[in-house]
Amino acid sequence: MDQLLQHFLNALMLGGTYALLGIGLTLIFGIMRVVNFTHGELYAFGAYMMYALVMLSGANFFVALALAVVLGALLGAALEFVLLRRLRGADIDTTMLVMIGAWIALQNAEQLAWTGVAKSIDNPFPAAPLVIGAVSVGWNRLFVFAVALVLIGMTYLVIQKTKLGKAMRATFQDRDTAALMGIQIGHIHTVTFALGSALAAAAGALLGPVFVAYPSMGDLAAAKAFAIVILGGLGSIPGATIGGFILALAEELGAGYVSSGYRDAMGFLLIIAILVFKPTGLFAQKERIG
């Protein structure tokens, strides 16, 4: 029982970051109709920025975290501007190929820049975990969870309460009509991609110090983000949030009770289950069924 409780707690802690990854990806897909294969690389970028700032420049941990997120947003905006701006209106396969090319180039650039050796990043939290009854949780994990929740909340506020968010939602519903209403679609796309990228970089900057940073770390993160997004329904933000926690729980239970070697296969099993029983995801909006 205590063990089960511990698994639930671990899943809750991890789920926040998964939700960040999923929300970023689903936003970009929903608004831009782009399957963003560079998402995992933005995640790795966040982790490596933490390494560069904290370990190489000696910056304060919290300042570094904020900077990493901002740099992630800037990189995202640059990617959108250089790669996707002129492909607006192109079909989904075309943008997909461009994003795959960018993914391969970015990942190998990371490998060239930081070598293949995994980098660990110091954190300022006490090493002794917080013990509550029979379960325990590391302070660093708790911090990651809290920041993830704050970022998720901020994203919701931006999308639901601001004028920018309104324009994003309008673009999501009908791009052409939104453009006719005077919304600058190009501007919305850049902001969306920057926001999604910032969330991915935040996830990487938060989890980098918990685990280690290595060049192919983004692949696994991207695979998980895809699973989360299918789980919640492509384009659904509440779906991605809950999907993040569901995936984290499935992985914790799978690793705890089945086999730790298959931890990363849980996402795929969830995808199969969802496609068999509810193909449009738990929170489907309007994806067509054939």
Partner 1 sequence: MKSLVTVLGVAALASVPLWADAYLLHVLVVTGIFMVAAISLNLLLGYAGQLSLGHVAFFGIGAYASALVSLGFDISFFTLKPKPVWMAMLAGIAAAGLCGWFIGRLSFKVRGAYFVIVSISFAEVVRLVAVNWVELTQGPMALNNIPPLTLGSLTLWKKPENYWLVLAVAVVSFILVKRLVGSKAGRAMIALRENEPLAASVGVDVTRTLVLATIVSAAMAGAAGALYAHYVRIVDPDVFLFIYTVTMVIMVVTGGKGTLAGPVVGGLIFGLLPEGLRALAIKPETQWIVYGVLMVLVVYFLPAGIVPALKRRVRWIS
Q: Interface residues with partner 1 (CB under 8 A)?
A: 29, 35, 83, 86, 92-94, 96-98, 100-109, 111-112, 219, 223, 226-227, 229-230, 234, 259, 261-262, 264-265, 267-268, 271-272, 275-276, 279-280, 287-290
The distance of closest approach from Cβ of residue 104 to partner 1 in the complex, given in angstroms and rounded to an integer, is 4
Cβ of residue 20: shortest distance to partner 1, in angstroms? 19
Min separation Cβ 92 and partner 1, Å: 7
Q: What burial letters (b/e) apply to 17-52, b meaning 16+ CB within 10 Å?
A: bbbbbbbbbbbbbbbbbbbbbbbbbbbbbbbbbbbb
Residue with smaller CB distance to partner 1, 112 or 118: 112
CB-nearer residue toward partner 1: 210 or 274: 274
The conformation of residue 129, written as its DSSP 8-state character, comes to P
- Nearest approach, Cβ of residue 163 and partner 1 (Å): 30
CA distance 148 to 134: 25
- Judged by beta carbon, residue 9 or residue 83, the one nearer partner 1 is 83
Q: Considering only CA atoms, which of 69, 80, 112 is closest in space to residue 208?
A: 69
Whichever of 249 and 271 has its CB closer to partner 1, that residue is: 271
Q: Which residue has the tokens 């490596």?
A: 48
| Sign of the dihedral defined by the CA atoms of residues 175, 176, 177, 181, in that order | positive
Q: Mind giving me the DSSP string for 228-288?
A: HHHHH-TT-HHHHHHHHHHHHHHHHHIIIII-GGGGGGHHHHHHHHHHHH-TT-TT--S--
The nearest distance, CB 216 to partner 1, in angstroms, is: 9
Residue closer to partner 1, measured from CB, 147 or 240:
240
- Rounded least distance, CB 262 to partner 1, Å: 6
| AA letter at 22 | G
Nearer to partner 1, 140 or 192 (CB): 192
- For the CB of residue 228, give the shortest distance to partner 1 in the complex, in Å: 11
Residue among 147 and 225 whose Cβ is closer to partner 1? 225
The vertex-240 CA angle with 227 and 230, nearest 5°, equals: 35
- Token readout for 222 is 């991207």
